Structure 1
Amino acid sequence: MKTLDIVAAVLLVVGGLNWGLWGAFQFDLVAALFGGNTTLLSKIVYIVVGLAAVYQAVALRAIQRRWNVASVTA
């Protein structure tokens, strides 16, 4: 499961960088790498990044326990 945690985290970093590039320069790195934002491969990347975000959001407590991270409470 730790491998899945790492893959999801890397995908979130990639997604965040892509959003940052889009916001700052209107440059979509995923679309540039995979032939446009409407290609099947680009759509798959967008979906996988979205699923990684859902996984991280839903499994946050379990991930914290798995990695022995103290939870942050407000």
Structure 2
Amino acid sequence: MRVIQMIGLALTIIGAINWGLIGFFKFDLVATIFGGQGSFLSRLMYALVGISGLVCISLLFDPEPKSTYDMNRVGKRNLNYFTEFGEDEDLSDLKKD
């Protein structure tokens, strides 16, 4: 992840926690820390959380890491066709009639 996305994700989590506190307990942590909802620092923090939410939208459209695509691989070219209960029978040596 890029640094901007990490910072945005951290600020979005802070905003989500603040909204959870407002929803459950009617307690605005940001306003309490920075001197009320109308103070410059509180408004700045709300603005940063909002911008970070916009930055985190890009995380929705990032492709999944390559390791999740290769989970069904044993080696470089051999697919893993085993079941979770044991190995399947090897049918490659059967002759066609």
- When normalised by structure 2's length, the TM-score is 0.62
What is the aligned partner in structure 2 of residue 48 from structure 1?
48
Q: Does 1:16 align with 2:13?
A: no
Q: Does 1:4 align with 2:19?
A: no
1:37 counterpart SS class: coil
| TM-superposition CA deviations, 1:8-62 (whole Å, max 9, x none) | 01001100000000000000000000000100000000000000001111x232x
The answer to which structure has the higher helix fraction is: 1
- Single out whichever of 30-39 and 1-10 deviates more from structure 2: 1-10
Regions of 4+ moved over 3 Å:
none
CA distance in structure 2 between the partners assigned to 1:45 and 1:5 by the alignment: 17
Query: Percent identity among equivalent residues?
Result: 35
CA distance in structure 1 between the partners assigned to 2:14 and 2:27 by the alignment: 14
2:38 counterpart SS class: coil
Deviation at residue 68 of structure 1 after TM alignment: 2.7
Unpaired stretches in structure 1, ≥5 consecutive residues: none
CA distance in structure 1 between the partners assigned to 2:16 and 2:48 by the alignment: 13
Task: Return the letter of the residue paired with 1:10.
Answer: A
- When normalised by structure 1's length, the TM-score is 0.79
What is the aligned partner in structure 2 of residue 30 from structure 1?
30
